């Protein structure tokens, strides 16, 4: 934990990803950070600092996978663009959700993308869709938080954040990993997660049991989420997508409780016919 804290305060450092390593750089120190890469690896990236900053844009973090026998990828971190709290409008009232250690979770998620590529290399998964990349990355975050904190509070924070993001804007459905996280967190206790010494060991056990939602199912959830949470949805249609409502309630109830309290969540769910 001390080593991680020191790393998070450094401008750049190396961290393990399977048998390889990733280079983590703060965007304010790109030039000195990139000097740690060999010319062969450096050629795979935009050739100028301005080019990298353009690719990064206003993101809080970004991962750039690399083809190399020793280096799995480059992770760029921009602490000033990592939010400390998120806001969501529910029924005309603004609610805040403070984020604990968001930089650490951001790093773990980006490392999770490289771990996803490692799973493919090991033959545990085939070619991944963008959505599969996102939920594998969040599964890594859950495993990493269990191993390092011996608690699941940050794992549940990520779960709630994914829900809140789509409450605000369904364009975040591409990152709505809750259908997978809910299975992971219900299937394994903290103690069981900690028994897996490596992430690929966990995924080797979890993947055969995982139920993956089809794109049609995700599209239906997207429509129902928009209808339930959007401030633009004026018509009350209690039977809309009724066949998805039990699962939607199951996915969102704990998040609503964290925002509104138990009584407020129950009232909101009742108003939405969920």
Q: Are residues 126 and 9 in the same domain?
A: no
Report the candidate in 214, 102, 201, 120 with the shortest Cα–Cα distance to residue 158: 102
Residue 264: what pLDDT? 95
> Which helix H or strand E contains 21, and what residues bound it?
strand 20-26
Alpha-carbon span 196 to 91, nearest angstrom: 42
Report the candidate in 12, 21, 127 with the shortest Cα–Cα distance to residue 69: 21
- 126-161 burial: b if 16+ Cβ within 10 Å, else e: eebeebbbbbbbbbbbbbbbbbeeeebebbbbbbbb
Q: Are residues 108 and 207 in the same domain?
A: yes
Decide if 22 contacts 75 (C-beta within 8 A): yes
Q: Are residues 74 and 38 in the same domain?
A: yes
Task: Give the bridge partners for 20, in sequence order.
Answer: 17
- Ranges 153-167, 172-186, 234-248: which has the least confidence: 234-248
Q: Are residues 101 and 213 in the same domain?
A: yes
Q: Count CA atoms closer than 13 A to 206's CA, side-chain side.
A: 28
- Domain end, chosen from 32, 58, 80, is at 80
- Domain end, chosen from 80, 95, 120, is at 80
pTM assigned to the model: 0.93
Q: Are residues 14 and 73 in the same domain?
A: yes
Residue range of the domain that includes 119 = 83-274
Q: Are residues 250 and 158 in the same domain?
A: yes
Whether residue 22 has pLDDT greater than 90: yes
Residue 261: what pLDDT? 96
Alpha-carbon span 178 to 225, nearest angstrom: 13
The domain tally of the chain equals 2
Q: Are residues 55 and 126 in the same domain?
A: no
> Would you state the structure tokens that stand for residue 49, as one six-digit string?
């600092």
Q: Are residues 50 and 169 in the same domain?
A: no
Whether residue 92 has pLDDT greater than 80: yes
Decide if 176 contacts 135 (C-beta within 8 A): no
Report the candidate in 29, 4, 24 with the shortest Cα–Cα distance to residue 14: 24
Residue 127: what pLDDT? 87
Q: Are residues 120 and 51 in the same domain?
A: no
Q: How many residues does the chain have?
A: 274
Whether residue 70 has pLDDT greater than 50: yes
Q: What is the mean predicted confidence (pLDDT) over 55-75? A: 95
Q: How confident is the model at residue 233 (pLDDT cuts 50, 70, 90)?
A: low
Report the candidate in 163, 167, 179 with the shortest Cα–Cα distance to residue 233: 167
Q: Are residues 75 and 90 in the same domain?
A: no
Q: Are residues 103 and 7 in the same domain?
A: no
- Domain end, chosen from 80, 99, 129, is at 80
Q: Are residues 188 and 133 in the same domain?
A: yes
């Amino acid at each position: 934990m001390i080593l991680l804290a020191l790393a998070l305060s450094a401008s750049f450092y190396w961290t393990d990803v399977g048998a390889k390593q990733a280079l983590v750089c703060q965007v304010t120190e790109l030039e000195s950070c990139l000097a740690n890469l060999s010319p062969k690896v450096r050629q795979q990236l935009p050739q100028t600092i301005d080019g990298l900053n353009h690719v990064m844009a206003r993101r809080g973090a970004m991962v750039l996978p690399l083809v190399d026998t020793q280096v799995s990828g480059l992770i760029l971190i921009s602490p000033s663009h990592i939010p400390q709290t998120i806001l969501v409008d529910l029924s005309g009232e603004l609610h805040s959700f403070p984020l604990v250690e968001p930089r650490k979770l951001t790093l773990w998620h980006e490392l999770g993308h490289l771990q996803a590529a490692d799973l493919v290399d090991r033959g545990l998964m085939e070619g991944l869709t963008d959505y599969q990349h996102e939920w594998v990355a969040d599964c890594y975050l859950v495993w990493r938080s269990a191993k390092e904190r011996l608690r699941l509070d940050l794992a549940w924070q990520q779960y709630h954040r994914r829900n809140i993001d789509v409450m605000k804007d369904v364009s975040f459905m591409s990152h709505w990993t809750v259908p997978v996280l809910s299975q992971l967190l219900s299937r394994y206790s903290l103690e069981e997660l900690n028994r897996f010494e490596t992430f690929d060991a966990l995924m080797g056990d979890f993947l055969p049991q995982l139920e993956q939602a089809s794109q049609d199912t995700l599209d239906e959830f997207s429509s129902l989420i928009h209808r339930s949470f959007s401030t633009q949805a004026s018509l009350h249609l209690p039977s809309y997508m009724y066949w998805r409502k039990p699962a939607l309630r199951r996915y969102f109830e704990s998040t609503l409780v964290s925002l509104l309290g138990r009584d407020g969540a129950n009232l909101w769910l009742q108003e939405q016919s969920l």
